[in-house]
């Protein structure tokens, strides 16, 4: 289900995917696509309810619908993709009747080369980007894809920023920042994660992935040489445009 590097490296040259499932199968997944006619590239980091087999089942559903929405239905605007994904998940799981809470958080980025803009839409998860040695964050909407819906209609927000050469973009799940570790066995936390991304951003993409790997392993390593258990799937996507 997950795309091989040879797939996304055809249209994204400077990119890494740091993917560390907690178990053999994962509730996190990454997704890439391309619309050659519109000259758009789509990148998503998705965090489904649960991990292991239940999370992997939701990942399969989410991946299938993203492919259908973008590649078959040709819906190519970030907010409309999330709106349709939410409707599709709710319908397929019959959530209007059974009140199932299964769903997913997502950060979706669209690189629009023709119009020289980047579109972002998120369900809880943000997008971080760095340009001219400064870090910025676009927040996702405070609602999920799928799950319980109390409002009559759920509509996601599209944010647009200029596409500037040399920008670096990061999409991720919450697995890294929520991991317990360090001498006090605290959570890593979002602020420290953002600081880490800024610290490593001048390295090339493969080095950045190695530095993230080392930072995570160092965080969970204890003084006696043991490691704290990984509590969730970890996913970080970095790309340079």
> How far is CA 37 from each of CA 34, 48, 113, 114, rounded to the nearest angstrom?
9, 31, 11, 10
For residue 166, the number of C-alpha atoms closer than 13 Å in the C-beta half-sphere is: 6
Residue 101, number of CB atoms within 10 A of its CB? 12
The whole-model pTM stands at 0.95
Single out the residue of 116, 136, 140 nearest to residue 45, CA to CA: 140
The per-residue pLDDT for range 137-173, each reduced to its tens digit, is 999 999 999 988 888 889 999 999 999 999 999 999 9
Tokens of 6: 């040879």
Instruction: Give 109-164 as a 3 state SS string.
Output: EEEECCCCEEEEEEECCCEEEEECCEEEEECCECCCEECCCCCCCCCCCCEEEECC
Q: What is the pLDDT of residue 88?
A: 95
Q: Residues 188, 177: contact at Cβ < 8 Å?
A: yes
Tens digits of per-residue pLDDT, 79-123?
999 999 999 999 988 888 887 888 999 999 999 999 999 999 999
Residue 152, pLDDT score: 85
- Ordered by start, the domain boundaries in the chain are 5-240
pLDDT value of position 137: 98
pLDDT beyond 80 at 134: yes
Class of domain 5-240: alpha beta
Does 67 or 3 have the greater pLDDT score?
67
187-225, pLDDT tens digit by residue?
999 999 999 999 999 999 999 999 999 999 999 999 888
pLDDT band at 35 (very low <50, low <70, confident <90, very high): very high
Backbone torsions φ then ψ of 81, nearest 5 degrees: -65, -45
């Amino acid at each position: 289900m997950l795309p091989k590097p040879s797939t996304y490296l055809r249209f994204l040259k400077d990119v890494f995917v740091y993917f560390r499932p907690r178990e053999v199968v994962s509730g996190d997944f990454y997704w890439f696509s391309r619309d050659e006619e519109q000259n758009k590239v789509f990148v998503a980091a998705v965090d489904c309810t649960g991990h292991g087999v239940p999370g992997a089942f939701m990942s399969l559903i989410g991946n299938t619908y993203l492919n259908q929405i973008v590649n078959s239905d040709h819906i190519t605007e970030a907010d409309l993709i999330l709106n349709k994904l939410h409707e599709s998940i709710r319908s397929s799981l019959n959530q209007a009747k059974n009140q199932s809470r299964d769903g997913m958080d997502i950060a979706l980025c669209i690189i629009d080369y023709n119009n020289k803009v980047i579109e972002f839409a998120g369900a809880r998860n943000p997008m971080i980007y760095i340009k001219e040695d400064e870090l910025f964050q676009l927040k996702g909407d405070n609602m999920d894809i799928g799950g319980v819906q109390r409002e009559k209609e759920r509509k996601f927000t599209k944010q647009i920023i200029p596409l500037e050469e040399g920008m670096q973009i990061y999409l991720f799940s919450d697995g890294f920042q929520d991991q317990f570790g360090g001498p006090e066995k605290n959570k890593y936390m979002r602020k420290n994660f953002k600081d880490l991304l800024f610290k490593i951003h001048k390295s090339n993409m493969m080095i950045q992935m190695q530095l993230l790997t080392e930072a995570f392993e160092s965080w969970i390593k204890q003084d006696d040489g043991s490691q704290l258990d990984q509590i969730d799937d970890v996913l970080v996507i970095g790309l340079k445009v």
